Structure 1
Amino acid sequence: MNKYRLLIETNDTKGLVYNISKILFEHNLNIDSNSEYVDDETNQFFMRSVISGEFNETILLRELKEILPDNASIKLTNKVKKDIVILATKEMHCLGDLLIKHEAGELDANITAVVSNRESLRNLVEKFNIPFEFISHENLSREEHEVFIIDAIKKYNYELIVLAKYMRILTPNFVQTFPGQVLNIHHSFLPAFIGANPYKQAHSRGVKIIGATSHWVTDDLDEGPIIAQDITRVDHSYSWEDMRDAGRNVEKVVLSKALDLVLKDKVFIYGNKTVIL
């Protein structure tokens, strides 16, 4: 029996869950799982349902729109695996973790390509029989380089672009080309220590915990909606290099967790925050 994910975001009104469930019942659909959340401050309603059965998608969506507020966002998908393109530079811990999970069938995604501004990751990527695109940034402005990066991405199927330690600041043009599609891992527990060399920044402040943050990319550097975070403890004996090494383990776990949430359609972007259902 086919399974689908139904995602709804709208203003909260009385009887929403009842009315939605009634329509699903009338289409002889089973609700396998269901999660809801209402933001009391803004009266915004979020719902994620996994449903199963056979139905006419056009009719179902029309009937749902009829009983929901005019501003309602409705998404229905039955695609289990999404296509993703990964951007990386030279660090391999996050990329390697995703490649291994992909090879093991533990990633609800098809990695269609890896694009990098460095050649050093080619051998790793090609061991997994995944296309590798090397596009040097040498003697190019950031804008010029991104034209080639964008062209490379568009050669492949993609629904999501994952920055697996892609250590280049993206221009507004890139962000606007792929709106709401770029997932980043930042080697810091945001909002602390944004930008470059966060481990050096953390070391100079004598922090006792370090962390990583995975977030959507926006025009504001390292300030997009946060999806997942985690930390590990450190002490005065750690050099900034020790902090960096400890942080790499956190980075790959956080990126993998955030990507899993996105691939399973559990992440709603709401303003500069996320709702995870």
Structure 2
Amino acid sequence: MNTHILTIHCPDERGLIYKITNVIFNYNLNIIRNDEFVEKDFNQFFMRTEFSGEFQNDAFINELTSILPATSKIKLTSNHKKNIVVMATKEYHCLSDLLVRHKFNDLHANIVAVISNHSVLEELTSKFDIPYYNVDSTGRSREDHEEDIIKLLDKFNPDFIVLAKYMKILSPSFIARYPNRIINIHHSFLPAFVGAKPYHKAYERGVKIIGATAHFVNEDLDEGPIIAQSVIAVDHTDSASEMAQAGRDVEKSVLANSLKLVFNEQVFVFRNKTIIFD
């Protein structure tokens, strides 16, 4: 079945659902699933529609554009796999989980390359026949190091960049090149314990739950729009290292869940938060 995903974000007004679905009906297309939401504080309408059938893409989009508000954001995609580049440093758990999911077609994405600032994970990656690039940052400025990474990214032109425990802070200019296309997994239930060593901070604070957060990366450290989160219980008997060990499983599942949502066009970014049709 030839399926498509239509996403629309525009100012809310009367009759939007009727107008959109009527165009789909007139093209003799079959709606498989439809979700919509109105953000009332800013009067914003969000809609995601899965449908099947054959049609002329340009004519379809032009007709939708003619009946929707002028500032509408309309996106039409086929239900195909996204191309992604994974960036990592030394920790293996998130990268290995993504590599296994990719191997068994459970990621709904093609990992076209892995980029790291160390060689530690090269042997692991090579077992999955995926190109690995060690872009060493030793003794280099952040801008100079990132320039080499950008050259690689330009070569592969990924739909998304996934930071699977990439433990370097990206520059604002780097982030600006890929708006809402960089996804990070942070080992904390944000907004608690941003930055480095969150498990140590959680241990010192005596928290009773720890978690992980997947979010889009923006210029503010660990403050980008949140995609997915989860937590597990801990207590006073857990050391910081034991918390970190337990948290790795949470990090893997949260990252995988967030990627599934993003790759299936289920996530809208509005201001500094997300609207998610799960």
TM-score range, shorter chain: over 0.9
Match of 1:94 in 2: 94
Matches within 5 A, 1:121-132: 121-132=121-132
Aligned to 2:26: 26
Q: CA deviation at 1:58?
A: 1.0
Could you say which residue in structure 1 is the equivalent of 2:37?
37
Contact 2:3–2:79 (Cα < 8 Å) also in 1:
no
Partners of 1:112 and 1:157 within 8 A in 2? no
| Letter paired with 2:64 | L
Q: How many angstroms does 1:157 deviate by? A: 3.6
Matched length = 277
- Flag structure 2 segments of 5+ consecutive residues without an equivalent: none
**Percent of aligned positions with the same letter in both sequences?**
52
Question: Where does residue 158 of structure 2 map in the other structure?
Answer: 158
Q: How does 1:139-158 map to 2 (within 5 A)?
A: 139-158=139-158
CA distance in structure 1 between the partners assigned to 2:107 and 2:190 by the alignment? 26
Larger deviation, residues 173-182 vs 249-258: 173-182
Residue 275 of structure 1 pairs with residue 275 of structure 2: yes
Per the TM alignment, residue 79 of structure 1 is displaced from its structure 2 partner at its CA by 4.4
Aligned equivalents of 2:205, 2:58: Cα separation in 1:
57
Give the conservation status (yes or no) of the 8 Å contact 1:113–1:132.
yes
Matching of residues 1-277 of structure 1 within 5 Å: 1-277=1-277
SS at match of 1:242: helix
Q: Which amino acid aligns with 1:20?
A: I
SS in 2 for 1:154: helix
Tell me by how many angstroms 1:167 deviates: 0.2
The code of the aligned residue for 1:247 comes to G
Deviation at 1:133, TM superposition (A): 0.2
Name the TM-score, length of structure 2 as normaliser.
Answer: 0.98
Deviation, structure 1 residue 212 = 0.3
Check conservation: 2:10, 2:44, Cα contact below 8 A. yes
**Contact 2:79–2:264 (CA<8 Å) still a contact in 1?**
no
* Helix, strand or coil at the partner of 1:155: helix
CA distance in 2 between counterparts of 1:25 and 1:162 reads: 37
- Bigger mean CA deviation after superposition, 71-80 or 149-158: 149-158
* CA distance in structure 2 between the aligned counterparts of 1:198 and 1:31, rounded to whole angstroms: 44
Indicate if the aligned counterparts of 1:114 and 1:130 stay in contact, CA closer than 8 A. yes
- Which amino acid in the other structure matches residue 73 of structure 1? K
- One-letter identity of the residue aligned with 1:5: I
User: Aligned partner of 1:186: which letter?
Assistant: H
Give the Cα separation in 2 of the matches to 1:250 and 1:54.
Answer: 41
What do residues 136-163 of structure 1 show as CA deviations (whole Å, max 9, x unaligned)? 1101011111111111222224110000
Moved beyond 3 Å, runs of 4+: none
SS of the aligned residue for 1:221 comes to coil
1:191 and 1:71 mapped to 2: Cα distance? 32
AA matched with 1:260: K
For the 8 Å contact 2:217–2:224, the answer to whether it is kept is yes
SS state at 2:262 partner: helix
How many Å separate the matches in 1 of 2:127 and 2:25?
48
